[in-house]
Amino acid sequence: MAWGKVSLIDVYIGFFLFSAWVIYRQEKWMTAVLWVLLIILLGNFTACLYAMIALYNSNNDFKRFWLEKHFNNNYE
């Protein structure tokens, strides 16, 4: 079952990359840890929810969506 191993690796890489983005974006580390734990426990539903909240809070500003806490320091 090589496809099972590949799928599992794909899921773990996705969790890692998305969690890294959440940690990078969040100002408070406890909030970031909470989101990462929720992503690990509830999966893509939580990741989608986080992305939707981030998009809503960014007011359709692409740079703010990706950078959030770093946005004010670098681009204003």
> pLDDT at residue 18 above 80?
yes
Per-residue pLDDT band for 63 (boundaries 50, 70, 90) equals: confident
Distance in Å from the first CA to the final CA of the chain: 51
Tell me the pTM: 0.81
The 10s digit of each residue's pLDDT in 33-60 is 999 999 999 988 999 999 999 999 888 8
Per-residue pLDDT band for 73 (boundaries 50, 70, 90) equals: low
* pLDDT in the model for residue 64: 86
